[in-house]
Amino acid sequence: MHGADGLTRRRFLGTAAATLCATAAMPALAGQVRPALRRASSESGLFRISLAQWSFHRALRSGRMDTAGFVRTARRECRIGAVEFVNTFLRDQIADAAWRLDLRILAADENVRLLLIMCDGEGHLGDPDEAARRTAVANHRRWLDAAKEFGCHSIRVNAASAGARTEQERLAADGLRRLCELADPLDLNVLVENHGGLSSDGSWLAAVIRRVDHPRCGTLPDFGNFQLGDGAEYDRYRGVDELMPFARAVSAKSHSFDAEGNERSTDFRRMLRIVLRHGYRGWIGIEYEGSDPDELAGVRRTRDLLERVRAEIAADPAFAPAVPPGDPGTQPWGDGEGRP
């Protein structure tokens, strides 16, 4: 028997008792996944590579792939053991408890970590209208609950607002703080991505995070989302540098590659050195948005580029990244889970 997303319910649909046993077994399943990922971390060095679901948005929108297929593809076709969901592709199934359990079992079977959920279309957290702002905060609650159930470390949100620059800062900070107060009891982080408008201004978004002043609020710097509107673009290297002090996840945006396999729009060597000099040792998520090559090939090329540059930096005696004090598990991204 198959669920709405093509997931086989072999583990729990036989009897009600099987369902309960599967549910009870999930912490143990998750525990089996984490040690392997910790070992992978120590072997790979400076950062680990994850995969954003948006990388396959064409396949997902066309119906050629579903969320289960995405998880399988990450592990089997891309050699990647951690994924970042996009709520757009989960909306039709997220209320189905059986589907959620199936997804968790599948991820454990494939040895794939579920890191975070990127949330769009739930209203403006910085809406000038207080009622609308409160509604936007409330709309994110179901994604916090899902992220908690999936074992994620965070949800990613947007800091959209309207009005004068300083007023948008105040409004966005207000909505974000309210959302962080919902996330805190769930042991989840609320991460803001540079995602158009003023949020693509690194100095503005950094000011918002400082104004929120909540330990659960951080950033998810994206290498490429620095379009300010009307054709203006913020310097991506400066922007990432400004956002990295608050980062608990990072998106390696890619579109196209030259003959040597380098990304045409972003100098990955320069960008990754910026990321690492801030002491970041968490996941860097591939987010391929190009059309040539196709999605699978584009993800693989981005992965290969990240692995190649990581090896180059690790072997460079002149590179002296900031070293976080103490055990890696005490850092904002924890042992790869992103928890403070």
pLDDT digits (tens, 9 = 90+) for 41-96: 434 579 999 999 999 999 999 999 999 999 999 999 999 999 999 999 999 999 99
Burial of 248: CB neighbours in 10 Å, binned 0-12, 13-18, 19+: buried
Q: List, in order, residues 6 or more apart from 207 with CB less than 8 Å away.
A: 169
Q: How far apart are CA 45 and CA 147, in angstroms?
A: 27
Question: What is the average pLDDT across 137-155?
Answer: 98
Q: Look at residue 331 in the predicted model and tell me its pLDDT.
A: 52
Q: Which two tokens stand for residue 334?
A: 């924890």
Report the relative pairing of strands 227-229 and 232-233 from DSSP bridges.
antiparallel
Q: What are the boundaries of each domain within the chain?
A: 16-330
What is the mean pLDDT of the segment spanning 289-314?
97
φ and ψ of 52, to 5 deg: -80, 135
Please tell me the predicted confidence (pLDDT) of residue 278.
96
Burial 300-319 (b: 16+ CB within 10 A, else e): bbbbebbeebbeebeeeeee
CATH, range 16-330: 3.20.20.150
Give the pLDDT band of residue 322 (cuts 50, 70, 90): low
Q: CA-to-CA distance for 86 and 147, rounded, in angstroms?
A: 11
Contact 11, 22 (CB under 8 A): yes
Pick the range with the lowest mean pLDDT from 10-19, 73-82, 234-243, 265-274: 10-19
pLDDT of residue 25: 46
DSSP calls for 238-272: HHHHHHGGGBS-EEEEE--B-TTS-BSSS-HHHHH
Model pTM score: 0.85
pLDDT for residue 45:
73
pLDDT surpasses 70 at 224: yes
- Mean pLDDT check: name the lowest of 60-74, 143-157, 306-320: 306-320
| CA distance linking residue 12 with residue 17, whole number of Å | 8
pLDDT of residue 152: 98
Rg of the chain's alpha carbons, rounded to an integer?
19
